[in-house]
Amino acid sequence: MDVYSVRSAKNINSIRIFLFFLYVAGIIGALGSLRKEQLALMVISTSLYGVSSALQAYRLRKNLDPHAFYFTLGDVFLLSFNTLGQQMIDLDIASGALKLGINYVISFFVILYSGFLFSQRQTIVVGVLLSLMDVAALWIAHIMGVEFVDRTDTHKLAYALSLPIEIVKVTFLGMATFATGRMVNLLVEIKDQALREKKQADEHSLIVEKQKENMLITAEKLNVSVDALQLFAEDLNSQIQTQAASIEEISASLTEISQSTESSAEFVRDQYQKIGKLNDESFNLDLIVKEVRNEIGEISNQVNQSSAFSNKVSLAMNALNSSLEEVKSSFQKVEEVNQIMKEIADRTNLLALNASIEAARAGEHGRGFAVVAQEVGKLAESSASNASIISKTIQKSKSDLDKGNLSAMEASDLAVGQEKEISHIEASVRIFNDKIIEMQSLNSRVVSSQKELKELSSQLETIASEQTLGNKEVMAAAQNIEDAVQLVAENTRVLREHISEIASLAEKIK
């Protein structure tokens, strides 16, 4: 039972109640002119009509199936009962009822409101029954003595009816039934189309509602993702700022180290020139010098291998850490060489003192030797002074190097291969140190030590030059990293703006 059937039953019953009150008003208005048989017939049919209306109203109020078609058939039978009953009372009532035509008009009402049943078949059934009732009423009237004549002024005749008019009336009932049926069929098609469209609209509404729920769920998830992205962007921005500050500190430390390295290289070059003057007299110490040079060659090869490996390191932080380690190792070598220079200077000074004593003993013949001894003593003092300056410079450089090393330690975890090469260099340095100690125990002549210092000074000059180039490369890499950090910071800012836009869209979806 759909809502349209209920509404149709209510409309039909409303018309039925209206007709009931119309019947009652008609009975009351004609109460004095009605015969007892006619009054009884009308009261019975009207009462049954009222009972039918009340029963239908009760079923509708209780949401029961109204059975509107059966109640409409009941209306047809009550109307037929009233019409045919009046035809059977006597000739006057039969002729008067047909001429008055009230039941004929009510038949039209019944046919019309049967259209609310939304069934062409049921409307046709009602119309056919009412047409048959009209024909039956005419037949009974004819039996009762009413004449059917081919005239239109039958109102002048007491018991005569116009046959053409009655035929037209019956035909008109049939046409009204057919027209109402066609109209009902059209209304049914419209109703079915409306129901189908309503069903589609309901289905579409459910789909839209489900899509809305999905969009809300998606918006919630999107909000959660946006919050996570915002936290990530803020954390990333904080880390980038921290890294940028660290890189600035490293760059400053590298600048200080570069300056210290250049100063040390200048001192090494000056020392190399002074040692070269003394090393010109070392022709008789070739065998020992060759052995030392072989060891130094091995160290040089290992240092070169380490330097080549350092150049292959792609990450700037690893290159920085490796370069700092090489600088530290180089300064350690300079420190060791400086210690040797100090020892040589002390020995040279001692030899000069001994030579001065011997020259004093020789008297006049030792004056030339005394001059040489005096020059050697001055040279020894100069070497000691230079060694002291180098030592102070090395200490300052080591202090600066330690600062740079602290800044670079955070980025040195990835330099595993570099550490292996540095370990090899350290092992070679230990071997070299052992050889130096052995040479110190065997070397009894100052020239041999001077030759060794010359070679070491040459190596230190090379290392200092390479270190200067390495510092420049590291500083360039640090600058590239700083530029990259700035670019990442800018991209992070753009990302945060996009995240804010996504969050705004997610709120609009809600």
Sign of the torsion formed by the C-alpha atoms of 7, 13, 17 and 19? positive
Give residue 228's pLDDT: 74
Predicted confidence band of residue 314 (pLDDT cuts 50, 70, 90): low
Alpha helices in 117-162 (DSSP H): 120-144
Predicted confidence band of residue 448 (pLDDT cuts 50, 70, 90): confident
Residue range 52-96, pLDDT digits in tens = 999 999 999 988 888 889 999 999 999 999 889 888 888 888 787
Sign of the torsion formed by the C-alpha atoms of 32, 33, 35 and 41? negative
Give residue 431's pLDDT: 77
DSSP codes, 267-325: HHHHHHHHHHHHHTT-GGGHHHHHHHHHHHHHHHHHHHHHHHHHHH--SHHHHHHHHHH
Q: For residues 36-43, give the mean pLDDT.
A: 89
Q: For residues 413-425, give the mean pLDDT.
A: 64
DSSP codes, 381-392: HHHHHHHHHHHH
Contact present, 147 and 161 (Cβ < 8 Å): yes
Residue 508 confidence (pLDDT) above 80: no
Give residue 502's pLDDT: 73
Contact present, 131 and 174 (Cβ < 8 Å): yes
Query: CA separation (Å) from 192 to 6, 181, 201, 308, 377?
Result: 16, 16, 14, 89, 127
Instruction: Mean pLDDT check: name the lowest of 54-63, 344-353, 357-366, 423-432.
Output: 423-432
Contact present, 101 and 166 (Cβ < 8 Å): no
Longest dimension (CA), the chain: 197
Of 372, 342, 380, 378, give the one whose Cα is nearest residue 355. 372
Predicted confidence band of residue 265 (pLDDT cuts 50, 70, 90): low
Q: For residues 456-479, give the mean pLDDT.
A: 71
CA distance 109 to 124: 14
Give the end-to-end CA distance of the chain in Å, rounded to a whole number.
39
Predicted confidence band of residue 4 (pLDDT cuts 50, 70, 90): confident
Q: For residues 354-361, give the mean pLDDT.
A: 77
Q: Identify the top-confidence range among 124-128, 221-225, 359-363, 371-375.
A: 124-128
Residue 506 confidence (pLDDT) above 80: no
Give residue 54's pLDDT: 95
Residue 427 confidence (pLDDT) above 60: yes
CA distance 331 to 400: 12
Predicted confidence band of residue 254 (pLDDT cuts 50, 70, 90): low
CA distance 489 to 218: 30
Residue 312 confidence (pLDDT) above 70: no
Q: Which amino acid is at 473?
A: E
Give residue 161's pLDDT: 81
3-state secondary structure 245-271: HHHHHHHHHHHHHHHHHHHHHHHHHHH
- Region of 161 please: left (phi>0), alpha (psi -120 to 50) or beta: beta
Predicted confidence band of residue 439 (pLDDT cuts 50, 70, 90): low
CA distance 140 to 347: 166
Give the Cα-Cα-Cα angle 87, 90, 96 (nearest 5 degrees).
Answer: 65
Of 121, 2, 9, 114, give the one whose Cα is nearest residue 66. 9
Give residue 150's pLDDT: 77
Q: Residues with Cβ < 8 Å from 104, sequence gap 6 or more?
A: 134, 169, 173
Contact present, 306 and 421 (Cβ < 8 Å): yes
pTM greater than the 0.75 cutoff = no
Residue 369 confidence (pLDDT) above 70: no
Residue 394 confidence (pLDDT) above 80: no
56: exposed, middle or buried (Cβ count in 10 Å: 0-12, 13-18, 19+): buried
Q: For residues 353-358, give the mean pLDDT.
A: 77
Q: For residues 230-251, give the mean pLDDT.
A: 72
Give residue 285's pLDDT: 57
Give residue 418's pLDDT: 60
Bridge partners, 160 (sequence order): 147
Structure tokens, 376:
């050697």
Q: Which amino acid is at 460?
A: L
Predicted confidence band of residue 406 (pLDDT cuts 50, 70, 90): confident
Give residue 424's pLDDT: 73
Bridge partners, 149 (sequence order): 162
What is the overall mean pLDDT for the chain?
77
Contact present, 333 and 460 (Cβ < 8 Å): yes
The share of the chain scoring above pLDDT 70, in percent, equals 72
CA distance 356 to 360: 6
Give residue 50's pLDDT: 93
Residue range 149-202, pLDDT digits in tens = 877 666 667 778 878 888 888 898 889 888 888 888 887 788 778 778 888 888
CA distance 289 to 300: 16
Helix (H, G, I), strand (E, B) or coil at 149: strand
The more confidently predicted of residues 309 and 173 is: 173
Contact present, 280 and 379 (Cβ < 8 Å): no
Q: For residues 254-260, give the mean pLDDT.
A: 69
